[in-house]
Amino acid sequence: MRRSHPTLPVSAAAALACGLIWLPTAAHAKPPAPLYQDPGQPTEARVASLLSEMTLDEKLVLISGKGFESRAVPRLQIPELTMTDGPNGVRWGKTATAFPVGISLASAFDPELVERMGKVLAAEARARGRAVLLAPCVNISRVPQNGRNFECFGEDPVLSARTAVSYIKGVQDGGAIATVKHFACNNQEHRRREIDVRVSKRALHEIYFPAFEAAVKEAGVYTVMAAYNKVNGLYSTENPYLLEDILKKRWGFKGFVMSDWDAVQHTLEPVMAGLDLEMPEGTYTGEDKLKPVVTSGKVTSAVIDEKVKRILWVMFKSGVFDAPPKEQPGVVGSEAHRAVALDVARASIALLKNDRNALPLVSNPKLKSVAVIGPGAVYPRVGGGGSGEVRPDTAVRPLEALTTMLRGHGVTVDYEPGFNMDGDVETVPPAAFSHKEGDQLLPGLVAEFFNNKNVEGAAVKKSVVKQIDFDWGNDPPAEGVNSDFFSVRYTGFITPKTPGRYRMLGVANNGFRVFIDGKPLLNAWDGEEFKKPTAELDLEARPYEIRMDFFDNKAQAKVRLGWGRVEGSQKEAVVLARRSDAAIIFAGFSDFFETESSDHGLELPKNQVDLIKAVANANPRTIVVLNNGSPLLMEDWVGRVPALVEAWYPGQEGGTAIAEILTGWTNPSGRLPFTFLKAWKHAPAFKTYPEVGDTAPYDEGIFVGYRHYDAKNLPVRFPFGHGLSYTRFVYADLQIQPAPGEQGGPAWEVSFAVTNKGTKRGAEVAQVYLGQAKSPVPRPPRALRAFQKLTLEPKESRRVSLRLSSRDLAYFDEAKDDWVVPAGVYQIQVGASSRDIRLKGTFTQPALTASDCR
């Protein structure tokens, strides 16, 4: 086929003849792409290239957020940095794999396993289209009441640092961006937005900084989140000592600092102190606030450029600029990811007490019946509440897992709730909801959406929904509705299938209220974060009018309505326990009680304590399984039960792990990441928590956790590092030798043998503590400096070798503002916990300068 060729118009041809039209030639090709678009160029060069292309307005766009992402600059192809909570699962989308919580990771004492989990978290974050994982949380567990202890890694800075480094390496090697938080001293939720932490520099550097420092220096974390609270008079977001002097200058942090959500209080102060990104929006550092102070000269362009450089550096270094994450089906919640969650749960559960060989259950051939008591057996305690709360697609119920495993041994399992807990409800099912259209009663509720927060005016969208269970993220809830600052009203009827007493629960991240037959039932209209009000009421098997209002303020929007029958009594549980060969009580808390934004009590609720006592009196083989994220006081009941298992919040596969440990299929190997005290008056923060005026004085200094109890020689219920096994380990042959340090400075190598003397395969956590009897400053009798988890077959012996650096010997000298190693005799203490020391040895160390200790 002949092809015709286009011809120029006559006027164009004439112009061409006169040389007036330029036609491209090989010598005049398309100009090359800017350097910043070339992935092969050095990161710093790409940052400089892109920065030179940006206008002031574009730079200002980049340093304040939009919900759960930074803002894009389309002209220069700068993408959004998409973000998601949280530490034990990706909170973007309705469900995700729910891993064991942070305190479980610390309890595992297994950095390699934590790194595996980090890689899976990264894969799920990217599969949800999220680049930044807002985790890990590394705040030290200073007080047992802290509502977020479950998210963190315990009371010891070395354990916290080792766990954090592995977590971050896993996440970032997996292609996501980790965020270490909350810098600094966010050690209580009570008044977290305004409390002023008064703490010494020595305590900061020795207790509260090490996990952050290791995250920066060893793991190369890309982002740091500044906390809500003040530190020594200044908000963390506007504290130059924290953000500039320590983080960026002393530690050499190259990434960017973001605020916690709505933590910024001013404009100039955080900008000049080193905050780089305000989240979730530019309330104080948006273009409207910053541009006038830049153009007037109050803030120099160099200050703005530095923030932009840091954000761009992270984008280039992490690969997000060149390949932003895209949603991928089939990744989140995969079988492989669930298998990792199960491995972590197995490794983290700790056996705290096992008198008379109450466990494992199958060790007694006479065992034919087991009573399982407590709602935690049927409502899996997956995790805590708040921004770390994750909803899995499915979660293993401990009761079902136990029943399946014991059935194979000819053991019957029966269940009684024994007590009720607020929050133990299911989402109200679609079958319970209906609405009227004319005279007809049809399925579902009527949903009316409003583009304001007060359910006012005309609805902009009306539809019918099956149930109230929504997680819209940052997206609009319906066509024509705002993504932020909207409200919705659900109306219709709710009909119980059976009459009885019900507990209703509302869950939302902003304000809501519920009415039954026109009467107020639940009210959280003030919009306080993470509020979960409940109410009980008697219902007949008939329709009741229901109305639920919800408003979204900003960022993510989610709302859910649940209910459950109030059933079970202590009397019925005791009867079951008395006729069974063994009784297992699931006690503790849930995401309803342990949650962000509020602290909690130190004891189990009275109904649980009464139940434990009554069941223990009825059955001498009573085992208690705890779900909690903080130390508990238990002096009034722990002596009555022969066995105690600390399961923490073990994620969606925790039910299987608990059953395996109770039956002996898995040998427990978890160890306590903090001390279980005997009395609150013994605690280091007893005199100053929750506050003294508007301050939280850290008068205990470096004596936090076991350091305090050991220095004061106080009795404890269970010491730091404690955990039992179904086998027995023996330590021998301690050797201490000088060795070259990694940075060229001096170091010491500590080696010893560990032998499994029992008949079962098991894992031991060998712990190395350091002390100095005669020190120029007060120091604890022992402080953890290294540990190793090793799995041994029966009769197997293995030599452990761990290296201590000069920094491990040092203390922080406030006068010199640096680390110092004093000359003297140091003692190595090797053992299975802070109070189970098996081997001791000493060495003499000459004084070292600060340069040897960094």
- Residues annotated catalytic, as ranges: 260
End-to-end CA distance of the chain: 78
In the three-class reduction of DSSP (H, G, I as helix; E, B as strand; rest coil), residue 431 is classed as helix
Q: Which two tokens stand for residue 757?
A: 């003397």
Query: Are residues 618 and 71 in contact, defined by beta-carbon separation less than 8 angstroms?
Result: no
Q: Which of 421, 314, 389 is nearest to 81 (CA)?
A: 314
Q: Which of 624, 659, 629, 671 is nearest to 643 (CA)?
A: 624
> Cα 85 to the chain's mean position, in Å?
8
Q: Please state, in angstroms and as integers, the Cα–Cα distance from residue 184 to each residue in 83, 226, 250, 297, 689, following that order.
A: 21, 7, 16, 31, 17
Q: Which two tokens stand for residue 292?
A: 């006038």
Query: Are residues 114 and 170 in contact, defined by beta-carbon separation less than 8 angstroms?
Result: yes
Q: Which two tokens stand for residue 450?
A: 């409003």
- The reply to whether omega before 605 is within 30° of 0 (cis) is no
Strand partners, 278: 64
Q: Around Cβ 225, how many Cβ atoms within 10 Å?
A: 23
In the structure, how many helices (H) and strands (E) does the chain have? 19, 39
CA distance 175 to 358: 45
Q: Which of 556, 458, 475 is nearest to 509 (CA)?
A: 556
Q: Which of 32, 30, 78, 38 is nearest to 55 (CA)?
A: 78
Strand partners, 766: 788
CA distance 655 to 598: 27
Query: Are residues 256 and 311 in contact, defined by beta-carbon separation less than 8 angstroms?
Result: yes
Query: Are residues 700 and 685 in contact, defined by beta-carbon separation less than 8 angstroms?
Result: yes
Q: Please state, in angstroms and as integers, the Cα–Cα distance from residue 267 to each residue in 127, 274, 308, following that order.
A: 36, 12, 17
Strand partners, 746: 740
Q: What angle do CA 847, 775, 710 make, to 5 degrees?
A: 135
* Widest distance between CA atoms in the chain: 109
> Cα 5 to the chain's mean position, in Å?
66
In the three-class reduction of DSSP (H, G, I as helix; E, B as strand; rest coil), residue 16 is classed as helix
| Rg of the Cα atoms in the chain | 30
Q: Burial of 497 by CB count in 10 Å (0-12 exposed, 13-18 middle, 19+ buried)?
A: exposed
Q: Burial of 272 by CB count in 10 Å (0-12 exposed, 13-18 middle, 19+ buried)?
A: middle
Strand partners, 828: 770, 841
Query: Are residues 174 and 410 in contact, defined by beta-carbon separation less than 8 angstroms?
Result: no
Q: What angle do CA 35, 36, 40 make, to 5 degrees?
A: 75
CA distance 217 to 215: 6
